[in-house]
Structure 1
Amino acid sequence: FLEEILHLEGKGSLRNAPCSGCGDLSPNYRCEDCFGVNLQCSSCIKTAHQLHPLHRLQKWNGMFFERITLKALGLRIQLGHAPGQVCPKPRRAFNDDFVVMDSHAIHEVSLDFCGCSNAVAHVQQLLRISWFPSTTANPKTAATFCLLEEFHILSFESKVSACEFYNALMQRTNNTGLAPVKVSKHVDQHARNKANAITKSRYECFI
């Protein structure tokens, strides 16, 4: 078991393998969340993740695999349109700096809201892809519905607090503590509000 686990830390048998997408001879990227451990070039792995913008990627730096974001590879998430469609009037998130909290990590993403004449509010655009914004004005952070459901269940089954859950998510994102995880200042308030709501619902069920 240990040998196979260590095998995954490097390129292993794929050190001379071409890109699984285009056949490029120097693929250096892989996804932690996709099935399998195929290596791809930057272009192919970005294209393959148009519908999976919250997957975690790694890049081979010559000695080991290091984390890299889809944002760094140039992937932009477009709201208000079907996947693959181009918005004629995209509006970038405030300062082009958006953070999404998912059940396996906290992600920095490049996000474009729809700016068409019939576009709904930014908050609605986020909710329509199952992302819960941390604020209603110029949202810069959101949590996926999946994450909120996970916290909701764990809070009942294991009594985990919002702070403990958030800290665990921070550790899953970066367990070394060497790179600070960027989140909005509204997240802590959102977590407290969520915790208060859960406490209130528990009390109402009790009485």
Structure 2
Amino acid sequence: MQLSLLCSLTLLSWITWTACWMMWVNNFLPIMMYCLQHLLNLGKVSYLQQWLPHQWHYLAILLDMEAPPEPRDCVLCGADGIFWCIECAHWPVFCTMCCWAEHKHQPFHRVEQWNGTFFEESSLQLASLVLHVGHGGQHCPASGCSNDEVTTEEEDDWEDVDQDGCPPNLQALRNQSCLIVMHTNGIHYCNVQYCRCPGAEDSHTADDRYRELLRVARMWQLLKLLKWQGSHMSAEDAGPRELVLFCPAFPQPRINIPEDAMDYSHWTLARSLVMDGNFKAEHMHPKDAGSEAWLMDGKGQVNMDYALVHAIRHGTVPGQQICPGIGLWHVHGHHTECFVQYAPNFIVGAGQVDGEIMETLWSSLNIISPSARGMATPHQQEVLDFQMNDSNFLKTV
């Protein structure tokens, strides 16, 4: 009897405790979770709430940065400053004379002009800047006037009149030729005064110099390669393969591995040479192949067979063997028996490679391939070599 009563009381207590727990979960737990979430969110927004009372102070700082200094005087001569340069350090204020005097060697700086209320966009051309060409920025002695006297024809006549909705700083000079420069910071209309010395008129004509530009581009590429290689006037001429970049991961005796302390036949020192053709790098048949000038014959990659043969010969040591293979993408286009014989998966020491590394380079090479299609044969190969040299350089940095 007593045992039965004890069990009943225990069961009743458990039911009561369960009912109280369920009531607490249903009523008080959501309140606690809400309070906890509110505390977490309070920490996130507290920084903004602390900043809000200071917002007007920050706004005043921004407005002060755009307001002219008091007094608004030229930093050089002390005269009335109406221009300030937003390209120069500390945004100095200049008068008109000091503005163009300080920017005659920096004609592409952006300036703003005081209109009585605020600084609005302007240009150095509106500040009477004249760009002198031919005498190191100074006026031409043959022009018959000094540097201060050279002005634009419309200097005193221009008005803040919108022509087709264009602001004055973006309007070309009227009744006068000007040089339009597309700069990274905007468009500049420059009042240019060319040299008027005898014999200088020929340099002002707009002849087509595209052919000369192509020649100079080839010269520049060759000179840059010679410079990177360490060539100079007293050094010997660069030999074959000396203008290509050194691969730091390629095992080469006496360069990045010792010559007599390693077994070069071991698979850890195996070299992977991949050769593939790019059928998008087409080339037009030259009109006069005999008159083409080769600047890098044998000093770059040049062609596939030449590059492969010299790559095998470069740094070879006794004990090394050539094991032919076919990339995993190309091998399926061969006979069935070629898969188990030439696939890299079955070549000892090849590792988990696809053998198609050259295919991944065509995407970057094909950016320049269409432009090189109509070039002379030497020029095309030099351009492709230069592009691949740049690709190899990016792998080392």
1:201 aligns with 2:283: no
1:168-190 CA distances to partner (integer Å, 9 max, x unpaired)? xxxxxxxxxxxxxxxxxxxxxxx
* CA deviation after TM superposition for structure 1 residue 4, in Å: 3.3
Query: 1:32-51, aligned counterparts within 5 Å?
Result: 32-51=86-105
Residues 1:121 and 2:203 are matched in the alignment: yes
Rounded to whole Å, the distance in 1 between the matches of 2:62 and 2:368 is 43
1:19 to 47, 50, 74: 74
Structure 1 residues 69 and 136: alpha-carbon distance in aligned structure 2, compared to 1, 3 A threshold: farther
Unpaired segments ≥5 residues, structure 2: 1-57, 145-151, 153-172, 209-365, 373-383, 389-397
Q: Give 2:66's aligned residue.
A: 9
- For structure 1, the residue ranges without an aligned partner over 5 or more in a row are 124-134, 138-198
Letter of the 2:203 counterpart: A
Aligned structure 1 segments of 4 or more residues deviating by more than 3 angstroms: 1-5, 92-95, 202-207
Q: What is the TM-score with the length of structure 1 in the denominator? A: 0.53
Q: TM-score, normalised by structure 2?
A: 0.29
How large is the RMSD of aligned CA atoms in angstroms? 3.3
Contact 2:131–2:193 (Cα < 8 Å) also in 1: yes
Shift of 1:17: 4.2
TM superposition shift of 1:32: 1.0
Measured in 1, the distance between the counterparts of 2:193 and 2:139 equals: 12
SS at 1:59 equivalent: strand
| Residues 132-184 of structure 1 deviation map (CA, whole Å, 9 limit, x = unaligned) | xxx647xxxxxxxxxxxxxxxxxxxxxxxxxxxxxxxxxxxxxxxxxxxxxxx
Name the structure with the higher helix share.
Answer: 2
Pick the structure with greater CA Rg: 2
Matches within 5 A, 1:177-188: none
- Quote the sequence identity (%): 24
Equivalent residue letter for 1:16: P
1:8 match: secondary structure: helix
Quick one: structure 1 residues 136 and 8, their matched pair in 2 at CA, closer, same or farther if it must change by over 3 Å? farther
Contact 2:99 2:127 in 1 (8 A): no
Counterparts in 2 of 1:23 and 1:89: CA distance versus 1, 3 Å: closer
* Structure 2 residue corresponding to 1:53, chosen from 107, 110, 120: 107
Find 1:95's aligned residue among 169, 173, 176: 176
The CA deviation string for residues 72-96 of structure 1, in whole angstroms up to 9 with x for no partner, is: 2221111111222434149x99932
Whether the 8 Å contact between 1:78 and 1:87 is mirrored in structure 2 is no
Distance in 1 between residues matched to 2:78 and 2:143, nearest whole Å: 35
- Match of 2:62, SS state, is helix
Aligned partner of 1:62 in structure 2 is 116
Structure number with greater CO (CA < 8 Å, separation at least 6) is 1
What's the CA shift string for 1:51-70, capped at 9, x where partnerless? 11111111111211111221
- 1:33 deviates by 0.5
CA distance 1:49–1:58, shift in 2 (3 Å): same
Q: CA deviation at 1:49?
A: 0.8
Per-residue displacement from partner, 1:25-45 (whole Å, max 9, x unpaired)? x21210011111221211111
SS in 2 for 1:110: strand
Aligned partners of 1:136, 1:6: CA distance in 2, in Å?
Answer: 50
Q: Find the partner of 1:84 among 138, 151, 166.
A: 138
- Return the structure number with greater strand share: 1
- How far does residue 118 in structure 1 lie from its aligned partner after superposition? 3.1
